[in-house]
Amino acid sequence: MTTTRGLREQSDPITMLTAYDAHTASVIDDAGIDILLVGDSMGTEALGYDSTLPVTVEDVESRTAAVARGSDDALVVADMPFLSVGVDESETIRNAGRMLKEAGADAVKLESGPHTVEITDQLTHLGIPVMAHLGLTPQHVNQLGGYTRQGTTEAAAEEILSLARAHEEAGAFALVLEHVPANLAAQVTDALDIPTIGIGAGSDCDGQVLVISDVLGLSEDAPPFADQFGDVRAAMTDAIEEYKTAVESGSFPAEEHSHVEDSLDDLD
């Protein structure tokens, strides 16, 4: 069982992948990945939106519940969607709390900034573990003008380092660093006791995270810092085309598919 405390003592690099449904969560969990992130990347990866901005608390809650039901050992982290945190104090707490109380998450992740130091402290004190997230924070795409690398000037790097320290101080149990120079990620990792988990942040973080559809080769437009470790899109296409051909040619259903037991209880 991965725990927020255990991560700190783990000697192997931390592995984290996103998941948005129970089947995928169970495959990732069985493979021994440490953390399942129910990312708001579900907006583009599962829900068909152009960005993460339209994703709702209900979307994340329902997907988190599915991922929690589909997994046993991995730590399940629910990603708080755009404007679900920081608008109003009690609403923030209630939204984050739902992910643990209703959906079965172990922790939440917040896209972090100066405004989330206090929130991180508050949630942590209430018993809601917080994973912080600095560097490229896609919910700010309208300010950033695109999904560009962050922390590239000295001032910006300083800001990220000081926010990283502030979030550790506020009680965050881990920090995602997205799309920042490798030397900055190394410096932040060095400065913190809590683990850093990088994406497009070089190899010196304590762990790595990628979006599952990029890893599987399911998405058609993976970012350049992601690597494709499989070709699931091609495998799906093959299976679906074979099914189509089988139905059209009359080879499916065959005799053996036409005399199944009445009860489907054994299926799962």
Residue nearer to ligand KIV on the CB measure, 199 or 240:
199
| Residue number with the smallest Cβ distance to ligand KIV | 39
Distance of alpha carbon 184 from alpha carbon 175, whole angstroms: 13
Residues paired with 10 in a beta bridge: none
Distance of alpha carbon 71 from alpha carbon 106, whole angstroms: 12
Q: Does residue 215 belong to the site contacting ligand KIV (CB under 6 A)?
A: no
In the list 66, 134, 199, 218, the residue contacting ligand KIV (rule: CB under 6 A) is 199
Q: Does residue 214 belong to the site contacting Na ion (CB under 5 A)?
A: no
Buried b (16+ CB within 10 A) or exposed e, 173-210: bbbbbbbbbeebbbbbbeebebbbbbbbbbebbbbbbb
On the CB side of 72, CA atoms within 13 Å amount to 5
Catalytic one among 178, 242, 255, 256?
178
Q: Give the DSSP letter string of 172-213.
A: -SEEEEES--HHHHHHHHHH-SSPEEEESS-S-SSEEEE-HH
Q: Does residue 39 belong to the site contacting ligand KIV (CB under 6 A)?
A: yes
The response to whether 40 counts as a known ligand-binding position is yes
Q: Does residue 74 belong to the site contacting ligand KIV (CB under 6 A)?
A: no
From 237, 208, 230, select the one nearest 27 (Cα to Cα): 230
In the list 211, 215, 216, 218, the residue contacting ligand KIV (rule: CB under 6 A) is 211
Q: Is 9 a catalytic residue?
A: no
Which of positions 176-195 make contact with ligand KIV (CB under 6 A)? Answer: 176, 178
Residue 176 beta carbon to ligand KIV: minimum distance, rounded to whole angstroms:
5
Q: How far apart are the first and last CA of the chain?
A: 24
Would you tell me which residues interact with ligand KIV (CB under 6 A)? 18, 37, 39-41, 79, 176, 178, 199, 209, 211
Residue list for the binding site for 3-methyl-2-oxobutanoate: 40-41, 79, 109
Would you tell me which residues interact with Na ion (CB under 5 A)? 39-40, 79
Active site (catalytic) residues: 178
